Chains A and B, each alone.
Chain A
Amino acid sequence: MDFSNRRCGECSNKGFTLVKIHGIWDRPWRDFPSVYLTEDFHVWRCNHCQAEASEAGSGAEADIAIERSLRNQTSQFLEVIKGRTGLSYEEIAKRIGISAPYLSNLRTEKKTPSFSIWNMLKMSAKHPEILKEVLDPNYDIEAANILLRRA
């Protein structure tokens, strides 16, 4: 359907263009403040003020693209983490604070993580030493000098 002549609620002008979104999509979704789309998705964008608009029913399609992106990213983060740390998936699960079966579902893209889990895995993929050292349950937090006060 062609919505190019619809009105923008932000600037009241008419005129939209269907644009492809890939990469950072700066709007909230569930507990994510913004999402990174690795699947192409198209949105209607105002020709005047760049605000986005959508028709009823497009939300479900947006959700599919977002969930596919997040699940694929999460699965890849886990693969990178395993490769870079040498830890087993069970140990990774333990250090992140999730169950092994849940991690398996994340690895096989059956579940979508929360923002905090996704963010933790993203950070660990980028800095595997954090997962290997800091998130080791035996990590000496006093020796690490990250407490403001000693008991």
Chain B
Amino acid sequence: MPKFSLEEVKKLVQGALSGDRGKVWFSGKSRSIDYVIYVFHCSEAEAEKTILQGLLSLTEYDFSQTIILSPPPDLVLADEYGLENFMGHNWYIKLLIEEDGSDRFLTSISFHPVERLLMLPDQRRLEVTLEKSKQPPKKNTTPRK
């Protein structure tokens, strides 16, 4: 069972598509927006739309596992999904829902073609669809000293 309700995820995505900008936060763009741009040679708005549409097409069967992003005491969890055959690729997705005061919003951390075989609980195997040579170079994000 995912930590975050898929129904709520989709409600937040719909909110973003309707113009409520605070409902979806693309954090770590190099693993989502930039990656989609790299794969499809599209604009940033087109990449956003692709990701939001991808999130809307998730089903409970695409859920992989819940992982720990930050250990206790500041425990932060995220749900991982594998989206099969969306726009010609298999995708790895990582997301969580957070709170900002009384508002809740979706943080999209990763949305990119799977970089290694991804096994789903229902035994589906999501193979790598984007050759390694076509994957974008990994960026070095260094902490500020």
Where the two chains meet, the residues of A that have a C-beta atom closer than 8 Å to any C-beta of B are 1, 3, 5-12, 26-31, 46-60, 62-63, 66
Cα(A29)–Cα(B41), bound, Å: 7
- The answer on a CB contact under 8 Å between A48 and B22 is no
Contact yes or no, B28 A1, CB < 8 A: no
Interface residue B107 (Cβ < 8 Å from any Cβ of A):
yes
User: Interface size of B by Cβ–Cβ distance < 8 Å?
Assistant: 45
**B interface vs A, CB < 8 Å?**
16-17, 19-34, 37-38, 41-48, 52, 69-70, 76, 94, 98, 100, 107-110, 136, 139, 141-144
Q: Are A56 and B16 in contact (CB under 8 A)?
A: yes
Pick the contact of B21 from A12, A49, A57 — CB < 8 Å?
A57
| Distance A59 CA – B44 CA, assembled complex (angstroms) | 5
Task: Give the contacting residue for A62; candidates B44, B76, B136, B139; CB below 8 A.
Answer: B44
B78 → chain A, closest Cβ, in Å?
9
Rounded to whole Å, the gap between the CB of A116 and the closest CB of chain B is 12
Nearest-Cβ distance from residue A50 to partner chain B, whole angstroms? 6
Bound: A66/B20 CA distance, A? 23
Q: Determine the distance from Cα of A88 to Cα of B127 in the docked complex, in whole angstroms.
A: 53
